[in-house]
Amino acid sequence: MAASTAPLDMARRAPIYASMTPVSSSNGVLDDFHPAVASWFLKTFPAPTDAQTAAWPPIRSGRSTLVAAPTGSGKTLTAFLSALDDLVQQGLAHGGELPDETLVVYVSPLKALSNDIRLNLQVPLEGIAVELAQRGLPPLDIRTAVRTGDTTQQERNALKKRAPHILVTTPESLYVLLGSDSGRRMLASTRTVIVDEIHALAGSKRGSHLALSLERLDALCGRRLPRIGLSATQKPIEAVARFLVGATSRWRFRRCRSKR
Ligand SMILES: Nc1ncnc2c1ncn2[C@@H]1O[C@H](COP(=O)(O)OP(=O)(O)OP(=O)(O)O)[C@@H](O)[C@H]1O
Ligand SMILES: [Mg+2]
């Protein structure tokens, strides 16, 4: 089945197209991942999908990237595995210690986030922990938390006390967090934003609201954060790309389409 991913970057603004079909090897695309992360991935899956192969290089170089590929092509894991690898490499560089800071904000319009999180965060985290232990490396306490309108007061208090490294949230809860002192303290350390199901947001009121929150997050962090957009449709891909990086950003597409 032909399909597309479209990573897009803000520094050089280069998008890429490829298909979702797994390729026969990792093609070196995992070479700059920590061996524990790469090993977990290659023991779990036969190979990166073309979406992953196309998207990881621009994501890893810190560029804003739009990944547009059909449902089930590994987009969510594409974004999360790169984020997890950053945390693993940072933690190991500091003797196994990670600061209590939120480094990745994942925003999804879907409220039922728990299944995605289990598949794309908890399962890799458990597998990577095994790989680290097998290499005699220190365990890493990489924490994730979900913050939606359904989050209980007790859970909200826990978030205030100790920030998760990866915050999973909705556009509405991101807006609420940006309006509170404790939320702003937590978000100020963000380095990367992931916007999942971005096709469902672009062009809607909810999307406009999120676009504003993303700009506020940049202002809070004092810099333009790399944005990773994940889209299950590519029509019109240009509109989704423009939504991801903002109307005033300049960008261009680089297309590489796979037939498989
Ligand atoms: N390289 C891979 N090879 C095989 N399966 C993979 C690969 N990467 C991820 N998967 C698995 O494929 C399934 C779908 O992945 P994921 O949820 O990331 O897809 P998606 O593109 O985000 O889909 P959707 O558009 O429905 O959100 C998950 O079970 C995931 O673990
Ligand atoms: Mg997904």
Summarised one tens digit per residue, pLDDT across range 100-159 is 999 999 999 987 776 677 778 999 999 999 999 999 999 999 999 999 888 899 999 998
Residue 247 is predicted with a pLDDT of: 65
pLDDT, residue 249, reads 62
Q: What is the per-residue pLDDT across 6-33, written as a single tens digit (0 to 9) for each?
A: 444 433 333 333 333 333 456 789 999 9
Q: Pull the structure tokens for residue 10.
A: 């803000």
42 lines ligand 1 (CB under 6 A): no
Q: Where are the domains of the chain?
A: 35-245
Q: What is the DSSP letter of 126?
A: H
Of the candidates 258, 246, 259, 260, the one whose C-alpha atom is nearest the C-alpha of residue 8 is 246
What is the percent of the chain with per-residue pLDDT over 70, rounded to a whole number?
83
Distances (CA, A) of 224 to 90, 114, 116, 221, 252: 21, 29, 27, 8, 18
Confirm or reject: Cβ of 113 under 6 Å from ligand 1: no
Mean of per-residue pLDDT scores for the chain? 85
Closest C-alpha to ligand 1, atom 12: 74
Please report the atom of ligand 1 found closest to the CA of residue 46. 3
The better pLDDT of the pair 254, 98 is held by 98
Q: Please, which pLDDT band fits residue 202 given cuts at 50, 70 and 90?
A: confident
| Domain 35-245, CATH number (from 3.40.50.300, 3.40.50.1370, 1.10.3210.10, 3.40.1390.30) | 3.40.50.300
| Enclosing H/E stretch for 77 | helix 75-93
User: How far, in whole angstroms, is CA 153 from its chain's centroid?
Assistant: 26
pLDDT score for 19:
36
Contact 82, 191 (CB under 8 A): no
Q: In which band, very low, low, confident or very high, does the pLDDT at 241 lie, cut at 50, 70 and 90?
A: confident
Cβ neighbours of 139 (radius 10 Å): 10
Under DSSP, the state recorded for 137 is P
Q: Does residue 210 register a pLDDT over 50? A: yes
Question: Which of 49, 53, 76 is the best mutation target for the ligand 1 pocket, counting ligand atoms within 8 Å of the beta carbon and taking the most?
Answer: 76
Q: How remote is the C-alpha of 157 from its chain's centroid?
A: 25
Candidate of 49, 77, 113 to mutate for ligand 1, largest count of ligand atoms within 8 Å of Cβ: 77
The protein residue whose alpha carbon is closest to atom 30 in ligand 1 is 74
177 within 8 A of 169, measured Cβ to Cβ: yes
